[in-house]
Chains A and B, each alone.
Chain A
Amino acid sequence: MVVSVKAIMISGRTLGQGAACEAKMSPDYFREASSCSLSQADLRGLGISPGENLEVTSEHGTVILTPQEDRGLDPGLIFIPMGPWANCLVGPDTSGCGTPQYKGVHVEVKVTTFPVLAIRELFGRFGGTRT
């Protein structure tokens, strides 16, 4: 049986993501921006083992992220640093005011053994396709 939890996704700045964001193609940026944080209770509930990742799905897409624990988060919240990984889950609707809803996205989280996509893989299907 696959265990999953429903959660609300919040994306935002972190110090590490910020410090690496001028070098987006670097391993540092990959490490800092492709993780997600959950409460201890949610991580336990998911029964995650070392080396496993999380697959997060919203109505707008799916992304695989490395898990972290954050004691500042209540159960039911998942935090992802702002960036292309988090944005796989964000919808295009701006509510008529120009700004997408980057916070408060309903998602489902489950454990996966698939790897996190590196930045070029994440954008792979765009690269070199245009003339």
Chain B
Amino acid sequence: MRTITLRPLASHLVPIEAEGLTPDGLAKLSIEEMEALDLWLGNRRTRLCELFAIEVDGKPAPIEETTVILDGDFSRVKRIGERMSGGMIQSLGDLGMHAGAGMSGGNILIKGSAGDWLGREMRGGSIEVEGDAGNYVGSGYRGERCGMRGGSILVRGNAGVFLGEHICGGSIHVSGNAGDYPGAANGGGTISIGGDTHLPGAEMTKGSISVGGRTTVLPGFQFQDEVELEGLTYQRYVGDLVENGKGELLLALAQQSA
């Protein structure tokens, strides 16, 4: 096992781009090599050691046995865990945009909140957020027709707008509320929202979206029946029929009349 702990040396408003901060990128490196890693602070190319204090516990290890701990406010640090394939990242505070984008394996645990584009186009692995998540969780990039394809994202707080846009696979669960248009153009992913949201499943063709709280249903969803899931009664709709969609929208019955 190897644990690498990073602590910010100062707080920045200008964002840091740190796509190299993954178990894949750090597992095999010596401290000196880590210190010399390239990062970007705005338009300045800089080195890891100029922005973060590094503490390493354990020898170089396989990716799967490597944990990166982010201790402090990383809300301005973008792309952490981008394309990671294994191992673990634990953020004790907030984490910036694009965390876990394109990741294919491993775990990211965020004790604070996550920025926008969390798990964008992820393929596998899991992300767990104890606080809130920003906009476009598990979505695609601009112009992409396929967002998240696999893995799972759990947000215990609230999520922003356009949750899981263009999701093609994998699952997202939000315990709190989600902003407008969750699961837009869903092409095969599973989304569940514990709280309220607005206009879920626009242009979805496949997959499933369930909403525990209040919501507004788009015109293109057709009521099918009522189903029991884990002790709750849900109204089941199919849609979005503007796209001849065969997606499933489940609305918890108890909440809808409230």
Q: Closest approach, in angstroms, between the C-beta of A47 and any C-beta of chain B?
A: 35
**A127 interface hit (Cβ, 8 Å):** no
- Contact flags (1/0) for B145-170 with A, using CB distance below 8 Å? 00000000000000011100000000
Interface residues of A in 85-108 (CB under 8 A from B): 95-96
Residues from chain A with a CB closer than 8 A to the CB of B162 are 95-96
Q: Closest approach, in angstroms, between the C-beta of B163 and any C-beta of chain A?
A: 11
A96 to B162, CA, bound (A): 8
**B196 interface hit (Cβ, 8 Å):** no
Interface size on A, as a range, is under 10
Q: Closest approach, in angstroms, between the C-beta of B179 and any C-beta of chain A?
A: 7
A95 to B180, CA, bound (A): 9
Q: Closest approach, in angstroms, between the C-beta of B139 and any C-beta of chain A?
A: 9
A96 to B180, CA, bound (A): 11
Residues from chain A with a CB closer than 8 A to the CB of B179 are 95
A95 to B136, CA, bound (A): 9
Residues from chain A with a CB closer than 8 A to the CB of B160 are 95-96
**B203 interface hit (Cβ, 8 Å):** no
A66 to B47, CA, bound (A): 56
Among residues of A, the one whose C-beta sits closest to the C-beta of B162 is: A96
Interface residues of A in 60-110 (CB under 8 A from B): 95-96
**B82 interface hit (Cβ, 8 Å):** no
Residues from chain B with a CB closer than 8 A to the CB of A96 are 116, 134-136, 160-162
Residues from chain A with a CB closer than 8 A to the CB of B134 are 96
Interface residues of B in 52-111 (CB under 8 A from A): none
Among residues of B, the one whose C-beta sits closest to the C-beta of A96 is: B135
Q: Closest approach, in angstroms, between the C-beta of A105 and any C-beta of chain B?
A: 15
A95 to B139, CA, bound (A): 14
Residues from chain B with a CB closer than 8 A to the CB of A95 are 135, 160-162, 179-180
Q: Closest approach, in angstroms, between the C-beta of B151 and any C-beta of chain A?
A: 21
A96 to B136, CA, bound (A): 8
Residues from chain A with a CB closer than 8 A to the CB of B136 are 96
A95 to B160, CA, bound (A): 8
Residues from chain A with a CB closer than 8 A to the CB of B161 are 95-96
Among residues of A, the one whose C-beta sits closest to the C-beta of B161 is: A95
A96 to B165, CA, bound (A): 12
A99 to B136, CA, bound (A): 15
A7 to B159, CA, bound (A): 27
A95 to B178, CA, bound (A): 12
Q: Closest approach, in angstroms, between the C-beta of A74 and any C-beta of chain B?
A: 21
Among residues of A, the one whose C-beta sits closest to the C-beta of B134 is: A96
A96 to B134, CA, bound (A): 9
Q: Closest approach, in angstroms, between the C-beta of A124 and any C-beta of chain B?
A: 26
Interface residues of A (CB under 8 A from B): 95-96
What are 13 A-B pairs at a CB distance below 8 A? A95-B135, A95-B160, A95-B161, A95-B162, A95-B179, A95-B180, A96-B116, A96-B134, A96-B135, A96-B136, A96-B160, A96-B161, A96-B162
Known: A96-B116, A96-B160. 4 other contacts (CB 8 A): A95-B160, A95-B162, A96-B136, A96-B161
